[in-house]
Amino acid sequence: MGGGFLIVPALVLLGGLPIHLAVGTSLFIIAMKSFAGFYKYLHLLPALGLSVNYQVAGLFVLVGFLGSLLGGRVAVRLPQESLKRGFALFLVAAGVFILVQNLD
pLDDT, tens digit, for every residue of 40-95?
A: 888 888 888 999 999 999 999 899 889 988 988 887 888 888 888 888 898 899 88
22, 15 contact by CB (below 8 A): yes
Specify the pTM: 0.63
CB 7 within 8 A of CB 26: yes
Cβ atoms of 20 and 75 within 8 Å: the answer is yes
User: In degrees rounded to 5, what are phi and psi of residue 45?
Assistant: -60, -45
Domain boundaries in the chain?
4-103
Lowest mean pLDDT across 1-5, 32-36, 37-41, 66-70:
1-5
Q: How high is the pLDDT of residue 72?
A: 80
